[in-house]
Amino acid sequence: MIDPRYAGYLAGHAPWQMMLKIVVYGAVFVVGAIFFGKFWIETTNMGPEAVARQIEGSGMQIPGFRRDPRILKKVLYRYIPALTVLSSALVALLALFANLIGTVGNTSGTGVLLTVGIVIRLYEQIAKEQAMEMHPVLRKFLGVE
């Protein structure tokens, strides 16, 4: 949108109108990403209650706090919602920036993020397969077995 290639899109509109369009688009994009992030955390059992149950079930505890799921939930409520909102907003801003500058190949910012995620996962799978071919002692050291 801010790339010179898009100057034809103004088509008689004032630059402030294009800036208003960018601001509204960005706000909707970021707010939508935050709602999706909150939805994702709750539906994948990564919310404070579910994580507190998982920690309690595994027998772990937070040092300095009593071993009570209510206290664990209270501590996790301080961090998980704030981190969810922050990380969702940052990912949305990154995708929005890539959309605005017109990334290489004229792809969308969301497409770039998906591509990077897929490539990282592929790299991890290849590394894991190579670790399987290593000496058994080295595999145990790296935690593959």
The pLDDT averaged over each successive group of 10 residues in the chain (145 residues) is 62 78 91 94 89 82 76 87 92 82 65 80 82 67 61
* 123 and 69 housed in the same domain: no
* 133 and 67 housed in the same domain: no
* 73 and 115 housed in the same domain: no
* 122 and 68 housed in the same domain: no
Please tell me the total count of domains within the chain.
2
Non-local CB neighbours of 67 within 8 Å, separated by 6+ positions: 56, 61
CA distance 117 to 93: 17
Which residue segment(s) compose the domain that 118 sits in? 106-145
The neighbour count for residue 73, using CB atoms within 10 Å, is 19
| pTM greater than 0.85 | no
* 79 and 124 housed in the same domain: no
* 121 and 86 housed in the same domain: no
